[in-house]
Structure 1
Amino acid sequence: MGVDTDLVGPGTQVHDLGGAGLLPGFIDAHVHPVAGGLAALRCDLSELAHDRRGYLDAIAEYVRTHPDEPVISGSGWYGDAFPGGLPTKDDLDSVVGDRPVVLSSHDGHGVWSNSEALRRAGISAATPDPDGGRIERDERGEPTGVLFERAFDAVNALIPADGPDRLRDALLLAQQRLLSVGVTGWQDAGVGIPAFGLTDTLDTYLAADAAGELVAHVCGALWWTAEEGIGQLGTILDRRDSARGPRLHIDTVKVMQDGICENCTAAMLEPYCNIPADAHSEGLSFIDPVELADVCALLARNDFHIHMHAVGDRAVRECLDALSSAVTACGDFAAHHQIAHLDVVDPLDMPRFRELGVTANIQALWARRDIEIVERKLPLLGPEREGRHFPFGSLLRAGAQLAMGSDWPVTDPNPLWALHTAVHRTGSRADPHAIGPDARTVPLLADEAISLRSAVDAYTAGAARVTHRAARAGTIEVGKDADLIVLDGDITTADDIGELAVQTTMVGGAVVYERP
């Protein structure tokens, strides 16, 4: 092993990696760690096979072993495990009828509840769909037990609030999981997000940071509550001012503009195809576009970076229009605005990412032919939009800068699985959620694949840029922090990138994880 003696001092530790791969630490540009940790502490279905009977057996066992929990809460189910693509309250009623059951879907945009939860929440056939949400109903108009977006607020309110100690345990459990897959920093994409049964987590981060328990570098994005409008700015400014610590900084606001395609709440330029009778034909814009532009301009004038959720092509356009207002308003502020998810992007809007300096924050693990996508999502998009599904390659060719994140607990936080899918547009053999006859073998739009170098850059340097750590992390250079990972093989020659594993994770030169 050759060593540059100019860089070696009396305290330098020299390691011979024996041919293993060395990379900068991954930075997850869009993740919900406290929710991921809480999922592991609740009724967690995320590690199970996609099987109706398996889900019900696991729920029954959790109910049996947690007799004192007044509300059974949990997450992680996939719709493809059920006939028709969605579960029902009848399934849950067969397992537990005397306590409410409230289970978030793996994507966090739907909740599966039993009859007792619906009863206590006051949801019946006579209950109208709320703004920004939908109650799934049967042919008689009765709620089936599945609630989408803001329709699940009432059942989530039944879940007792988690205390500070439990939230801290969840954060630290999540941190260890992220370190084990090579993530040395992240952006929490919604501190205060009203999903996954979460309460506000800012105090959780502050307490962990003050106690020296926060190992990774964290950039937090404060949640913008659509219903409160610009009147919430003062609170957000106060929260930013309170959130400074050795490992934590909060200088970003998360704005959610639409839902997801699978439940027809993603905002589309043209109507969905083959939609249920009670679905919104073109999806939902959660904030009026004129107001959205005002919100973004206001945030930019107050030196906030803006992190936006946009799945449908109309939502993407509305967000780009709003960020155009922000760019005009921000003056000398060096903003790193970003739009996350980008399931469908109109070709006319792709060059605007480069023109406006807006980063495309992608969740690459989703870009494959899973059953849930093939059977539930693509029929809703139709053939023309199917050809623009997760257009990562097109965005890159149009000059967009990329950052990558997992959206965990929506999907697994392992960056190596996501890198494999970004490069091959198929699922890794290591990923148990790559379900379907074509998921691991037939690319989902092969022309939208990106190179390994581009994918790694998105999960390191690109993510460092949007978490405002580019001066200290994201690349291996003299003068930067030694946030490094060691892989058990060569990522450039691996047949299946997802089958590689992280051997060692270092933050600031200190080893914080070693594979057993």
Structure 2
Amino acid sequence: MRAFINGRIRTGDPELPWATALVVDDAGLIVHVGGDDQIGRDIEHVDLGGGFVLPGFIDAHVHPKMAGLQIIGGTLVGQPDVEGYWGVLRSRLTEGGESDWVVLAGYAAIVMAQSGATRATLDSIAGSRPVVLVNSDLHGGLVNSAVLSIAGFEHGGGYPSELVEVDADGVASGYLNEEALNAVLALAPPASEETLLAAVRAAQAHLHSVGVVGWHDALVGDQHGLGDSVPRYIELHARGELTARVTGAYGWNRARGVEQIEAVRAYQADVNRSPIKVVGVKLLLDGVNEAHTAAMLHPYSDASGHLHDEGPSLIGREALIETVVALDAVGLDVHMHAVGDRAVRDGLDAVEAARRANGYGEARHQIAHALFVSDADVPRFAELDVTLDNQGVWSAADFLDVDGYAAMVGDEVMQTFYRYETLHATGLRWSAGSDWPVSSPAPLDGITAATRRALAPGAPAHDGWERLSAETVITAYTSGSAYSSRLPLNGTLRVGMNADFVRLSGDPTAVDYANTLTVEETVIGGKPVFRADD
């Protein structure tokens, strides 16, 4: 056993909210929480140096494999404009042969759309070499003529215009969304097993460096032909390299119906023999506003400023209700992506139907994102016991193009954008996730954004924007995310729980910008997995 002493430990346990010492057994479980004077001298002592300690953060919605591939393979994130994107692309084109695919992710959808770039732009840079650029939200991309030809998408490929954009003559512009983008990515030569292992390994290291001890992988399985992260987790565990606590949600194939539930359950049973647990199913109810694939209650414009209709539902309402009722009946959690207010309403309606049909069982349903929530739907999260999985960074004025969103949806609808205080007053459950690589995986960034509505001082001020308290966001990132991710031994520091904690340079509730603090150490099972001074 070992005792961690001389800390300022915020346990997250309402019965003993603060302590200075933890005792951890050889299995990595907490056997005592209290004061330094309660710790005997006959066990090893580890001095926390007066550091501020929290339960280890849990990311309730993240894509480590995708993020890791960007870490080891290059990214468009951070480039200030399209010329920066073209510079990264030209650099990558110097590698490989003329027929080798180039896939780069991370461009800003609004910036690209407003630049007027099309397939012809990529053709002028890359010629006949296949190029796929994926935007930062991972729901859309831009490809060149070579890729359109290989995929058979030159004139739409049978997809609706929301998924393969075409001009007035029916010729594809190069912009693809959702399934059409996935279909193209599935045609690219797959990464090697060692590359995928390296990606997950790199993602784990980065998540530990920002204080994350575990996560819910928000898209496992290989039903779209893009590769499954679960075998890589299992292989890293076999090599003794997996230190994180991991659960996942199986990605639902929208081209099929409830007949796939048995296949999902078989996959779950197979995976759950390993330390990785598949606990539910991921449903994409809509896309994103920039691509005009968000499902809204009112007509809105796309990123280029063209007014359209209310946007598509990626799963029809009746099919969604049937699906959620069936998944709930067999005890599978449903993890729903919903950006637009109509998608949020459809998701809540589906859970309501499941509650009527099956009662309030053990399933833990959640809606991720929920950028827009209508007045009528605000109280329904709490009423239906649906967790709202929040991506705090997205609410920051210096992350999201807020003026661009206002131009797309209008001032009245923008009043329903990130209604933090209004929603919190209903008593709903919060969890917190990053959706990394869509946005920063650092919980200190998420805390900052949700409390300040900015990531750094000097961001554009918006009067009347609602905020959450730092205490609320910390709880969401710890016990809230542990609950929704089904990590029952995480989220609080009390006897019988995992000794998973993060030591910070200060108290994030005592500073205006939590991300001015640093993660000094991340500990899992009583053993350090990250130290800043290393």
- Tell me the TM-score normalised to structure 1 length: 0.90
The aligned residue for residue 281 of structure 1 is 309
Alignment of 1:53-452 (within 5 A): 53-67=83-97, 70-82=100-112, 84=114, 87-124=117-154, 126-127=155-156, 130-131=159-160, 133-138=162-167, 141-192=170-221, 198-244=226-272, 247-273=275-301, 281-331=309-359, 333-370=361-398, 373-428=401-456, 440-444=458-462, 446-452=464-470
1:390 positional shift: 1.6
Give the AA of the match of 2:164: I
Q: What's the offset of the Cα at 1:245?
A: 5.2
Distance 2:292 2:342 in 1: 13
Q: Secondary structure at the match of 1:462?
A: helix
**Deviation string, structure 1 residues 409-433 (Cα, Å, up to 9, x no partner):** 111211111110100111236xxxx
How far the C-alpha of 1:128 sits from its partner, in A, is: 5.9
CA displacement 1:428-465 (0-9 Å, x = unmatched): 36xxxxxxxxxx43345644200110011111111011
Aligned residue number for residue 512 of structure 2: 495
| Per-residue deviation, residues 55-78 of structure 1 (Å, max 9, x unmatched) | 111111122134477110120111
Measure the CA separation in 2 of the matches of 1:89 and 1:65: 21
Change (3 A) 1:363 1:444: farther
Residue 13 of structure 1 corresponds to 45
For 1:505, the equivalent position in structure 2 comes to: 522
Question: CA contact under 8 A between 2:305 and 2:408: conserved in structure 1?
Answer: no
| Identical pairs, percent | 35
| One-letter code aligned to 2:197 | R
Counterpart in 2 of 1:22? Answer: 53
Residue 308 of structure 1 deviates from its aligned partner by 0.7
| Paired letter, 2:472 | S
Deviations along 1:191-231, whole A, 9 cap, x unmatched? 03778x83222322222233332211111101111111112
C-alpha separation between the residues in 1 aligned to 2:80 and 2:156? 31
2:9 corresponding residue in structure 1: none
Give yes or no for contact 1:273–1:379 (8 Å, CA) kept in 2: yes
Report the Cα offset of residue 383 of structure 1.
0.9
Contact 1:425–1:446, Cα closer than 8 Å, also in 2: no
CA contact (8 A) 1:39 1:75 kept: yes
From the superposition, tell whether residues 177 and 254 of structure 1 become closer, same or farther in structure 2 (CA, over 3 Å): same
**In 2: Cα distance, 1:460 partner to 1:321 partner:** 28
Structure 1 position 401, deviation (Å): 1.0
1:36 is aligned, of 67, 70, 73, to 67
Q: Report the Cα offset of residue 153 of structure 1.
A: 3.5
Amino acid at match of 1:15: D
User: Which amino acid counterpart does residue 148 of structure 1 have in structure 2?
Assistant: N
Counterpart Cα distance in 2 of 1:465 and 1:108: 26
**Alignment counterpart, residue 493 of structure 2, candidates 471, 476, 480:** 476
> Do the aligned residues in 2 keep the contact of 1:424 with 1:446 (CA within 8 Å)?
no
Paired letter, 1:37:
G
Q: Sort the Cα spacing of 1:332 and 1:492 in 2 relative to 1 into closer, same or farther, 3 A.
A: closer
How has the CA–CA distance of structure 1 residues 446 and 219 changed in structure 2, closer, same or farther, with 3 Å as cutoff?
farther
Q: Would the aligned equivalents of 1:92 and 1:113 in 2 still touch at CA under 8 Å?
A: yes
Relative to structure 1, the CA distance from residue 444 to residue 510 in structure 2 (aligned partners, 3 Å threshold; closer, same or farther) is farther
Contact 1:426 1:444 (C-alpha < 8 Å) held by counterparts:
no
Matched residue type, 1:507: I
CA separation in 2, counterparts of 1:129 and 1:371?
35
Q: Deviations over 1:377-424 (max 9, x none)?
A: 221111111111122222111221110100011112111111101001
Give the conservation status (yes or no) of the 8 Å contact 2:300–2:408. Answer: yes
Match of 2:475 among 436, 440, 457: 457
Please give the secondary structure, in 1, of the residue aligned with 2:45: coil
Cα gap change, 1:263/1:304 in structure 2, threshold over 3 Å: closer, same or farther? same
* Local SS of the residue matching 2:173: strand
Distance 1:177-1:56 versus aligned 2 partners, 3 A rule: same
In 2, are the aligned partners of 1:220 and 1:250 still within 8 Å (CA)? yes
* Partner AA of 1:480 in structure 2: M
Q: 2-side partners of 1:243 and 1:11: how far apart? A: 38
**Structure 1 letter corresponding to 2:490:** A
Task: Tell me: CA distance 1:426–1:280, structure 2 relative to 1, closer, same or farther (3 Å).
Answer: same
Give 1:74's aligned amino acid: L
Deviation at 1:343, TM superposition (A): 0.9
SS state at 2:125 partner? coil
* Structure 2: distance between partners of 1:372 and 1:468: 30
AA of the residue aligned to 1:4: D
What is the CA–CA distance in structure 2 between the aligned matches of 1:371 and 1:401, rounded to whole Å? 25
Q: What amino acid maps onto 1:369 in structure 2?
A: A
How far apart are the structure 2 equivalents of 1:85 and 1:369? Answer: 22
Distance across 1 between alignment mates of 2:216 and 2:161 = 25
Which amino acid in the other structure matches residue 201 of structure 1? Answer: S
1:51 Cα deviation after fit: 1.8
| Counterparts of 1:194 and 1:236, CA distance in 2 | 10
- After TM superposition, the structure 1 stretch with the greater mean CA deviation from structure 2, 267-276 or 70-79, is 267-276
TM-score w.r.t. structure 2 length?
A: 0.88
Unmatched runs of 5 consecutive residues or more in structure 2: 1-5, 7-19, 21-34
SS of 1:227's equivalent in the other structure is: coil
Aligned: 1:486 with 2:490: no
Task: State the AA in 2 paired with 1:95.
Answer: I
Report how far residue 141 of structure 1 moved: 4.9
Q: Deviations over 1:220-268 (max 9, x none)?
A: 1011111111121121011110112564211111111111111111111
> Contact conserved, 1:42 with 1:73, CA < 8 A, in 2?
no
- Per-residue deviation, 1:179: 0.5
> Alignment RMSD, CA only?
2.5
- Decide whether the 8 Å contact of 2:286 with 2:337 is kept in 1: yes
Cα deviation for residue 102 of structure 1 reads 0.7
Shift in CA distance, 447/56, structure 1 to aligned 2, threshold 3 Å: closer
